Structure 1
Amino acid sequence: MYLILFARLIYGTSRVQPSLLRHHLFNMHFSSFISAAALFVSARAGGLCADATVTGDAITGFRFSSGYCPGGWQWYSRDKGTTITLNPDCQMRQASPNTVTAVCIRNKAGQNKCVKAPTDADQNFCGIPTDWCNSIDNMWGWGN
């Protein structure tokens, strides 16, 4: 009933073809599905990086760049061919090859926090808590 009223409103007629009604019904359901799927993917991919415990020496260090993008900054691996970055959106990203398994952050207060580096299962990015992301003094990466 509501779909017929909706179709009448759109087409301005009291006569509605069933094929047009099916077309609008499909489009409404399909667009709702796409919206829900996008919300699920963004919620899944944007989660926080899991805490990690590391031992031994780091395999790579990171450098800070303030010229990454207009008004932005970036931490990036300085050696080992590792491509892992932390940007102002507090999302850590990693790409193959030479991935690391954990990243440790030292904040400006001298505290350390280690997290599991993002993997394919995380769509290669995960979030760092804002209070850590905005007060980084240094970062290191750990291998297997």
Structure 2
Amino acid sequence: MSIVDVDYLKKPKAMSTEIKGIYDLMKEDANGRIKKATIFHNRLFLEGGGRERNELMLRLGSTGDGNLIIARLAFINQRQGYGTRLLELLTNLARKEGYISLGIECVHTDEMESFARKNGFEQVISPFSFGSETNWIKKI
């Protein structure tokens, strides 16, 4: 993927098919309301909703390590299959773009840990962790 800083709300046609799928998923969860959709410094930011909001931040291999990392993730509608659908979209994106693994950064809740385990992620100790950080990786 050629990563260029872009505001997709101003330039929706700049979205690749894979990013559009992720955008559409987050928009569906947010009942059609997306407030932020940008790529900035190799990070994809999506945020939507009203009083309740969802958000996604992906690190797009900015460290050159071949990892596509979910840095932040929150859905408005939980236990509705959005996380599973997102993982399918991210796996397709990762394969197309040559990433070697998909990661979830800073897993702090039992629900997210359960989700990571259920979907084949393995817990890893990062040399950059500071005690409370738990990271999970899944080979593509």
- With a CA cutoff of 8 Å and minimum separation of 6, indicate the structure with the bigger relative contact order: 1
Larger radius of gyration: 1
State whether TM-score is above 0.5. no
TM-score (norm: length of structure 1): 0.26
